[in-house]
Amino acid sequence: MKHKGWMICSGLLWMAIGLWLLAKGIFLIAQGCFIADPQLSFSFQAFGDVRKGATSLISLALLIGFIKGRFVLSKTVRRVCLRIASLPLPIRAKEVYSTSYIILILGMMALGMALKFLSIPLDLKGALDIAVGSALLNGSILYFRAAFSLPIA
């Protein structure tokens, strides 16, 4: 696969994971709305109405994810795209991502799995998933922009 293909592949991967986390987060918040759970966080109780609390929490998580995607993950995307662009053709799969990048991804996956076993309120778990999913979606857009800005070769 060529440089453009690997960047698009990376963007599609981030997009798929981001959409999955976004859907999972919205499901967790919706589940928290309908379950009379004593572990609901202050976010639902602070607004007096569960629906207002859920809407506010989703909005805040989307905003945090947007900021993280634009200012934090953009550096990662830029670094990975520069690495991909510098590789000589043909590019093999094991050359695309550095070991530190793979360790970072595995660490984030482990943290995500650990959340399942911690007694964190459903709405906060959902907000975290929405924020990370939103950040990954923003990062995927940056991958696509980088891929389509490459000269056609």
Residue-wise pLDDT for 114-147, tens only, equals 887 888 878 888 899 999 999 999 999 999 999 9
Q: Are 66 and 134 in contact (CB under 8 A)?
A: yes
Report helix angle 122-148 to 50-71, nearest 10: 30
- For residue 128, CA distances in Å to 23, 32, 73, 116 come to 12, 14, 16, 12
Domain boundaries, the chain: 3-148
Segments in 35-72 forming alpha helices (H): 42-46, 50-71
Q: Are 28 and 39 in contact (CB under 8 A)?
A: no
Could you give the CA distance from residue 120 to residue 111 in angstroms, rounded to a whole number?
13
Binning pLDDT at 50, 70 and 90, where does residue 22 land? Answer: very high
Residue-wise pLDDT for 98-118, tens only, equals 888 888 888 878 887 888 788
Q: Which two tokens stand for residue 60?
A: 């805040």
Which DSSP state fits 89? S
